[in-house]
Amino acid sequence: MIGGRWVVRGGKVTGIDEPAILAEVRELGPAMLARHDEAFRIGEALHESLHAGWLDAMRTDVGVERKLHR
């Protein structure tokens, strides 16, 4: 209860139309995710080379002790 009003009762949120919200999410979700497809592709393309470069830099002696954490 919040402020004397049930907001969850019997394991269900009260005051909302859960089936309608889920239907809307199922309808709109794919388009929302698709907006980020290009960024995901770019990230995947860059990840391997950036990771390899970072590992290479970590192996380079710069005069201080540092450790690789996995």
pLDDT tens digit sequence for 37-65: 999 999 999 998 999 998 998 888 877 77
The pLDDT value recorded for residue 51 is 92
Are 12 and 18 within 8 A, CB to CB?
A: yes
Q: What is the pTM of this model?
A: 0.42
The pLDDT value recorded for residue 68 is 67
Q: Give the SS3 label for residue 8.
A: strand
Closest C-alpha to 69, from 54, 48, 53: 54
